[in-house]
Structure 1
Amino acid sequence: MDKKECKHCSQIKLLSEFRSSIIRNKQYFRLECKECEKKMKRIKRLTNRKELNLSFFRDRASSLNSGAKSRAKREYIKVTGEQLMELFLTKENSRCYICNTSLNYENLIFDHEIPLSSGGAHNIKNIRCCCQECSSLKLDRDLQSFIPFLFDYCQRVEEKLGGVINDL
């Protein structure tokens, strides 16, 4: 069977997984597979809101790339706005990966799951969406060391404010 590479996901797929049209008795196939076409339609529908357009994600990608290039100890692969948009809308489902709070353009931070300072790679597989609060607390910790820190931090806050919280 004939196969073709999807221009969006870069996977080699069967021609039956691409939409086709016949023009002047010749069959042409789309550049994206049906699965990617469906994802892109969903992204387009969700990003018709003014604040979450492609230029927003391209600006975030540009700042993320510029800061990471000098700090990356390992692999550095430039991240695109399209990749960040897809990550936010599909994989992360518009939620913080740490506390699961709903994210919008005001509190969205793209964070390296394994920090660059700890040898993490700068690529889309190592980038996650999180809220400003979690990002501020996490700093350069990986998730395995962040969770115990967060537990300890919450205990200290509770001890300090215990009486105040009970009075509320």
Structure 2
Amino acid sequence: MTADNSALLSFVSKDKTNSYEQPEWKVPKPCVICGELFLPYQKRSVVCSQDCRLVHVANNNRARWQPKDHPETNCIICNTTFKPRQKNGKYCSTSCSNKRLRTVVVDCLACKRVVRRNAHGSRDAKQYCSKQCAVDHKVAINEEIRALRRIAENNKPKAVVNTCVLNEIRAIKRIARAARVSKSCKHCGEIVYSKYLLLHPNCRKEYEKTIRLAYRQKYKHTEVYKANKKAWRNKRKALERGAKVAENVNPDFILERDKYRCYICGIKTPKKLRGTFEDNAPEVDHIIPLSKGGLHVESNLRCACRKCNGLKSDRVYQLI
């Protein structure tokens, strides 16, 4: 059983339709063809029926194609006076139009031949025998014009200029050209008249020295420099103590490798106690002492606490 949807439907009552206001143009008016009154369907309606509409359209077309009032003229073929339909009409009828000359005798301006050509051809049909002659003749005319222009340009009176002024102008241009490619020296600040140089030859050594010193000052504050300095210091001390072989080994690397644990007693050696006098302060020890022929290399270095390192002294760990 379907639901009752009648309440959803809305119908227009008769009272509403009767109260609808008609537009101003919805009033009876006479037909332009038969003259009878009719109620227009659209605002632009002017006829009452289809028959009247066909008659109205035919009248408009006939009025559109009626000949305009042009002045009378004589036909160029039969010399008859007629009233043309077009503004520049020349022929009184189609038969006279068919009798017109379709070719003309042309005296070619290029090759001087007399030929007969179509009168309704290209623009050069009444001057040249062919299109190639027209192109060649126009090219020759343009070349003569250019030659005459060159002759006129060369024959112009030249202005008299002092040679000293010309030399000064050339010198100014040369200086301006050099100034466009010149740069200031990085060391002394004076102009370098060169496209590729940034320094004077005399300033190069001093500039490199200052740059090198500035780089060193900046490099000394880096962690890499500090680590390398520790390695160089330990290497120098090992060589002073009689080591035959010494490498640049950073002591912090040895302590981090052994995780800050003594290889003799196994206790933890905190990093914050590095450089103190505590018993568990971390130190770097040679397994084979340098006095016994040991080497200052990574494989011979271990992390040891300060107490064990002092007790071990210059003995081998396995012999303690």
Which fold has the larger relative contact order, with Cα–Cα distance below 8 Å and residues 6 or more apart in sequence?
A: 1
Higher helix share: 1
Give the alignment's TM-score, normalised by structure 2: 0.25
Q: Which has the larger radius of gyration?
A: 2
